[in-house]
């Protein structure tokens, strides 16, 4: 099945079977007068506790702002995709490019794409851009974590205390159901593990040669401006940084209009 066969008036849902399980995928399409049919679709990668539903109305707005098809999927273990029971491997960030992301590309027949990731999804976007240098037309990161910073660990510890509240755990269950405990552990336990402390994207970034936009809030509770700066310092392609004033870890919810405008402007420049 190719992406062209999925065109319609509203979002389209489907499940695809991969080598490691079944994944849930949703595609959004721009309104007819905004459509740019020759432009590569945008593929979204969600955060550590995220899923398709938590993107809310951002994908639809992004499709209309850019004139491009937008595709998102629930990684295995998250949202509506198949459950996982084993903890993530230490290489889970780079592995996503070769597993779930590759499966989506193959099943939808996507030959060219723009990759956009939020938080750890932005970290995964780096590996996707590096793995598919000819297919990846551009990379956009929002609040990407590029190394394990003390602020990152402090933010995760605070979140661990917050999720000790049963009401907050119940909120997570709305999105992940029975997967919720695994989802939370996969984030907290992995990132706080001592052997994960040296993890970094510095070695993967030189293989990213496409134009890149690194969006980051200057009040991000999980990472300082050193994270987008590392992308700019190590990627081989041109990198534009957008440091948003007064914005935390979720720019597309806190300042959606500003984020959409920056993305639209960036993609218009690269063609």
* Res 181 pLDDT > 60: yes
The helix (H) or strand (E) run that includes residue 269 is helix 256-270
The CA distance from 222 to 208, in Å, is 24
Decide: pTM greater than 0.75.
Answer: yes
Q: What is the DSSP track for 99-138?
A: THHHHHHHHHT--SEEEEEETHHHHHHHHHHHH-TTTEEE
**pLDDT in the model for residue 6:** 44
Q: What is the pLDDT of residue 230?
A: 98
Counting residues of the chain whose pLDDT is more than 90, the rounded percentage is: 89
Residues 78-133 have pLDDT tens digits of 999 999 999 999 999 999 999 999 999 999 999 999 999 999 999 999 999 999 99
Q: What are the pLDDT digits (tens) for 27-71?
A: 999 987 666 668 999 999 999 999 999 999 999 999 999 999 999
Question: Contact 27/11 with Cβ under 8 angstroms?
Answer: yes
pLDDT at position 264 over 70: yes
The answer on pLDDT for 3 being more than 80 is: no
Query: What residue ranges do the domains of the chain occupy?
Result: 3-270
How far apart CA 19 and CA 100 sit, in angstroms, is: 9
Number of CB atoms found within 10 A of residue 254's CB: 15
Architecture in CATH of 3-270: 3-Layer(aba) Sandwich (3.40)
Residue 149's pLDDT is: 96
Residue 100 has phi, psi (to 5 degrees) of: -60, -45
Instruction: Give pLDDT, residue 4.
Output: 43
SS3 percent helix, strand, coil of the chain, rounded to 5, is 45, 20, 35
Q: List the beta bridge partners of residue 117.
A: 45, 141
| Lowest mean pLDDT across 3-7, 64-68, 158-162, 176-180 | 3-7
d(CA 212, CA 107): 26
1-6 mean pLDDT: 43
Rounded-to-integer distance, Cα 93 and Cα 50, Å: 15
Residue range 205-244, pLDDT digits in tens: 999 999 999 999 999 999 999 999 999 999 999 999 999 9
Q: Could you give the C-alpha distances from 3 to 30, 112, 132, 198, in angstroms and in order?
A: 14, 11, 18, 39
How far apart are the C-alpha atoms of 75 and 66, rounded to whole Å? 24
CA 191 to each of CA 18, 56, 128, 186: distance values in angstroms, whole numbers, following the listed order: 26, 26, 21, 8
> Which whole number is the average pLDDT over 7-23?
83
Q: Is the pLDDT reported for residue 270 higher than 90?
A: no
Spell out where the chain has E strands. Answer: 12-18, 21-28, 42-45, 70-73, 113-118, 136-142, 212-217, 239-244
């Amino acid at each position: 099945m190719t992406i062209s066969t999925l065109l319609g008036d509203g979002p389209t849902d489907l499940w695809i079977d991969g080598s490691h399980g079944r994944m849930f995928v949703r595609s959004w399409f721009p309104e007819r007068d905004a459509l740019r049919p020759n432009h590569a679709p945008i593929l979204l990668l969600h955060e550590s506790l995220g899923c398709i539903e938590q993107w809310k109305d951002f994908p639809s707005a992004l499709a209309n702002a850019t004139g491009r098809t937008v595709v998102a999927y629930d990684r295995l273990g998250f949202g509506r995709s198949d459950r996982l029971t084993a903890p993530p491997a230490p290489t889970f960030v780079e592995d996503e490019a070769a597993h779930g992301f590759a499966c989506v590309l193959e099943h939808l027949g996507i030959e060219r794409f723009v990759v956009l990731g939020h938080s750890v999804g932005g970290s995964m976007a780096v590996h996707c851009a590096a793995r598919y240098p000819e297919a990846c037309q551009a990379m956009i990161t929002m609040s990407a974590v590029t190394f394990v910073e003390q602020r990152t660990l402090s933010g995760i510890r605070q979140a661990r205390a917050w999720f000790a509240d049963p009401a907050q755990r119940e909120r997570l269950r709305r999105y992940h159901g029975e997967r919720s405990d695994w989802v939370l552990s996969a984030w907290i336990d992995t990132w706080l593990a001592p052997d994960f402390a040296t993890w970094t994207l510095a070695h993967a970034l030189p293989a990213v040669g496409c134009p890149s936009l690194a969006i980051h809030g200057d009040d991000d509770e999980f990472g300082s401006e050193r994270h987008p700066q590392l992308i700019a310092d190590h990627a081989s392609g041109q990198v534009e940084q957008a440091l948003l004033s007064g914005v935390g870890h979720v720019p597309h919810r806190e300042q959606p209009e500003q984020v959409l405008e920056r993305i639209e402007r960036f993609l218009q420049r690269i063609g």
